[in-house]
């Protein structure tokens, strides 16, 4: 047993953190009241047999937990019967509009969630373009009336993506546990995590041989043909890709890096901090959670992950307070708050994870100033999307040009971080090699896990929201 009080405290807190994390993430598979069930309303399932089979094939653990109803009264009875479960409501557009006892099914479900008579955080509407046009629906105007509508989907692949995002947010794992991949049920999600699982095993010699240009060409073709809806599109222009490739190649050559791994590490981390397309492309790609996009950029992800893992920042402290300024879309923040609030009512912890290389700072003022910069970026990206608007589906068009998108919440994230200084997965101080040393930046590896200690529900105009997190590695 450790004799040092600080070390003993860390061991105790670390043990509790991991125990809570295990309980939170494994509950999805243990059959308790936190597991997801799907209540699916569809006026004619005979027309959607292929979709049902596809859903069950992709998520085999759902097979015994999908309840399908064509009749509104049976749909509502089962919703009340299973009210204590963690329900994911899925409705076709016609079923959502079907009336019984003076209420549409969509209004009935939303009311029950608001009244806390059923436990759910999400209603997904899966509708044809014709139904969407007929009802003049957009995600924005739906959420104004029915705040628990989280997705409006007109394509079956996007329906899968909606499931992915919600399930992913419940079963993330920390790098500290070698067994975390056991909790991922899909092979393609496993492949994402494996990219970042063992960065020390990657070889610079092998990674350098990677055909960057060919990989970017494949990425561009995929994003274009699959209509990937992400700001990533804005940065996949020929001149920006060419710049990115040149920057990557220079990292193996500049400052005597040809035969010096330490210099390669510094070059790549410094490149990441520069005002180049590299930062945007990597993080927007990571945020898609799209396994195919990850596959095309796998070599670059491995490069940066290895460099960050290998970089010696000379830091020896085991505790540090970190800050991050962020701009979060209102519906995303609200969904996260509802999960946190529900878990808090049962004295259960809530964990979140960030898929990107996450920048933080030891200076609260820097974090707050960055918020304004990020707000401008959101507005610029929105303007950029105006040029791409016809390439996006009708479902998202109104949201992309709405004030709701531009006027996102400004959030200051406060992080109490504790870690073993010898663990190379810990956040690294990169101020000494950053282009912006005054930012006092600490950089996290992707997919690190944080516990939400508190977060605000309400906000006054012009003020920042605050989220307090704990990170233990």
26, pLDDT greater than 50: no
Q: What is the pLDDT of residue 285?
A: 85
Asked whether the predicted pLDDT for residue 51 surpasses 50, the reply is yes
- Per-position b or e across 123-139, b if 16+ CB within 10 A of its CB: bbbbbeeebbeeeebbb
Whether 29 is covered by a domain: the verdict is no
Residue 173 falls within a domain, yes or no?
Answer: no
How far is CA 296 from each of CA 257, 290, 302, 307, 450, rounded to the nearest angstrom? 25, 10, 12, 19, 28
pLDDT-based confidence at 111, cuts 50/70/90? very high
Which residues, listed in sequence order, are joined to residue 67 by a DSSP beta bridge?
39
Domains contained in the chain, number: 3
- CATH number for the domain including 99? 3.40.50.2300
Are 459 and 367 within one domain?
yes
CA dihedral of 28, 31, 35, 37, whole degrees rounded to 10: 130
How close are the terminal C-alpha atoms of the chain, in Å?
19
Phi, psi of 164 (to 5 degrees): -55, -50
| 193 located within any domain | yes
Give dist(CA 439, CA 366) in Å, integer. 6
CA 39 to each of CA 123, 142, 220, 442: distance values in angstroms, whole numbers, following the listed order = 10, 20, 37, 43
Q: Among residues 285, 310, 335, which one ends one of the domains?
A: 310
Is 418 a residue whose pLDDT tops 60? yes
In angstroms, the CA 175 to CA 36 distance is: 25
Sign of CA dihedral 217, 265, 355, 436: negative
Q: Is residue 158 part of a domain?
A: yes
Q: What is the mean pLDDT of residues 189-198?
A: 77
pLDDT of residue 469: 93
pLDDT bin (cut points 50, 70, 90) of residue 443 is very high
What is the band of 78 on the pLDDT scale with cuts at 50, 70, 90?
very high
Average pLDDT in the 300-325 region? 92
Please say if the pLDDT value at position 166 is more than 70.
no
Q: 140 falls in which pLDDT band (50, 70, 90)?
A: confident
> Are 43 and 147 members of one domain?
yes
In terms of domains, do 301 and 341 share one? no
- Shared domain for 107 and 218, answered yes or no, is no
Collapsed DSSP state (helix, strand, coil) of residue 448: strand
pLDDT at 420 over 90: no
* Mean pLDDT computed over every residue of the chain: 77
pLDDT of residue 362: 95
Which of 449, 377, 353 is CA-nearest to residue 17?
449
Q: Give the Cα separation of 241 and 276 in Å (integer).
A: 10
356 and 453 together in one domain: yes
Last residue of a domain, one of 168, 200, 221: 168
Least confident of 55-59, 105-109, 280-284, 384-388: 384-388
**DSSP string spanning 411-428?**
EEEEEEEE--TT-TTS-E
What is the predicted pLDDT for the residue at 28? Answer: 37
Same domain, 80 and 159: yes
Alpha-carbon distance values, 347 to 8, 114, 472 (Å): 25, 21, 19
Task: Tell whether 8 is covered by a domain.
Answer: no
Domain range for 63: 35-168
Residues 306, 384 within the same domain: no
Sign of CA dihedral 204, 205, 207, 213: positive
| 361 in any annotated domain | yes
* Calpha distance 91→108 (Å, rounded): 12
Specify the DSSP class assigned to residue 446: T
Beta strands in 134-193 (DSSP E): 149-153
| Sequence-distant (≥ 6) Cβ neighbours of residue 78 within 8 angstroms | 39, 67, 69
Closest CA to 105 of 79, 135, 137: 79
Domain identity same for 300 and 341 = no
The owner of tokens 């993330």 is 172
- Last residue of some domain: 310, 336, 358? 310
For residues 323 and 286, membership in a common domain is answered with no
Residue 451 lies in a domain: yes
Cα–Cα dist 200/203, whole Å: 8
Q: Which phi and psi (to 5°) does residue 427 adopt? A: -65, 140
Q: Are residues 305 and 330 in the same domain?
A: no
Model confidence at 174, in pLDDT bands (50, 70, 90)? very low
CA-to-CA separations, 307 to 37, 269, 439, in angstroms, rounded: 41, 7, 20
Same domain, 45 and 164: yes
Q: What is the mean pLDDT of residues 361-383?
A: 72
Q: Calculate what percentage of the chain has a pLDDT beyond 70.
A: 71
Q: Which range (39-43, 85-89, 390-394, 444-448) has the least confidence? A: 390-394
Residue 93 and residue 129: Cα distance in Å, rounded? 10
Question: Between the ranges 25-34, 126-135, 158-167, 452-461, where is the mean pLDDT highest?
Answer: 126-135
Most confident of 377-386, 393-402, 461-470: 461-470
Closest CA to 168 of 455, 446, 466: 446
* Phi/psi at 88 (5° precision): -110, 110
Query: Quick one: pLDDT band at residue 98, thresholds 50, 70, 90?
Result: very high
pLDDT at position 371 is: 79
> Which pTM does this prediction carry?
0.69
Residue 4 domain-assigned? no
* Per-state percent for the chain, helix, strand, coil, to nearest 5: 55, 20, 25
Same domain for 219 and 237?
A: yes
């Amino acid at each position: 047993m450790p004799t040092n009080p600080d070390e003993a405290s860390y061991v105790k807190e670390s043990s509790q953190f991991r125990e809570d994390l295990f309980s939170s993430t494994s509950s999805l598979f243990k059959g308790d009241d936190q597991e997801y069930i799907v209540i699916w309303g569809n006026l004619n399932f005979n027309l959607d047999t292929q979709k049902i089979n596809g859903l069950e094939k992709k998520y085999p653990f759902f097979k015994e937990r999908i309840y399908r109803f064509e009749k509104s009264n049976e749909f509502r009875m089962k919703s009340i019967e299973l009210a204590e479960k963690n329900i994911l409501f899925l409705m076709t557009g016609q079923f959502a509009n079907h009336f019984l006892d003076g209420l549409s099914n969509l209004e009935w479900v939303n009311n029950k969630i608001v009244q806390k008579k059923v436990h759910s955080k999400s209603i997904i509407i899966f509708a044809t373009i014709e139904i969407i046009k007929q009802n003049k629906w957009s995600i924005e105007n739906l959420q104004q009336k029915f705040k628990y509508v989280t997705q409006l989907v007109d394509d079956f692949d996007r329906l899968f993506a909606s499931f992915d995002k919600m399930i992913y947010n419940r079963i993330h794992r920390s790098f500290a546990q070698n067994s975390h991949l056991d909790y991922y049920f899909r092979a393609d999600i496993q492949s994402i995590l494996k990219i970042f699982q063992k960065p020390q095993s990657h070889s610079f010699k092998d990674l350098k041989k990677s055909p960057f240009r060919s990989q970017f060409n494949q990425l561009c073709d995929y994003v274009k043909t699959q209509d990937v809806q992400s700001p990533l599109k804005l940065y996949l222009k020929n001149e920006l890709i060419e710049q990115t490739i040149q920057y990557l190649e220079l990292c193996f050559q500049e400052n005597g890096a040809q035969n010096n791994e330490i210099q390669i590490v510094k070059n790549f981390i410094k490149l990441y901090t520069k005002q180049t397309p590299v930062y945007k492309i990597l993080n927007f790609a990571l945020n898609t959670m799209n396994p195919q996009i990850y596959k095309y950029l796998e070599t670059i992800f491995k490069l940066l992950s290895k460099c960050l893992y290998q970089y010696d920042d000379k830091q020896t402290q085991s505790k540090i307070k970190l800050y991050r300024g962020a701009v979060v879309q209102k519906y995303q923040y609200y969904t996260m708050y509802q999960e946190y609030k529900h878990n808090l009512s049962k004295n259960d912890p809530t964990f979140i994870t960030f898929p990107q290389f996450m920048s933080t700072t030891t200076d609260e003022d820097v974090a707050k100033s960055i918020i304004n910069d990020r707000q401008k970026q959101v507005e610029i990206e929105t303007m950029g999307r105006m040029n791409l608007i016809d390439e996006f589906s009708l479902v998202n068009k109104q949201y992309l040009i709405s004030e709701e998108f531009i006027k996102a919440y400004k959030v200051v994230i406060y992080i109490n971080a504790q870690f073993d200084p010898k663990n190379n997965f810990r956040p690294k101080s990169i101020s000494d090699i950053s282009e912006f040393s005054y930012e006092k930046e600490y950089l996290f590896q992707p997919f690190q896990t944080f516990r939400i200690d508190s977060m605000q529900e309400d906000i006054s105009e012009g003020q920042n929201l605050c989220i307090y997190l704990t990170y233990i590695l």
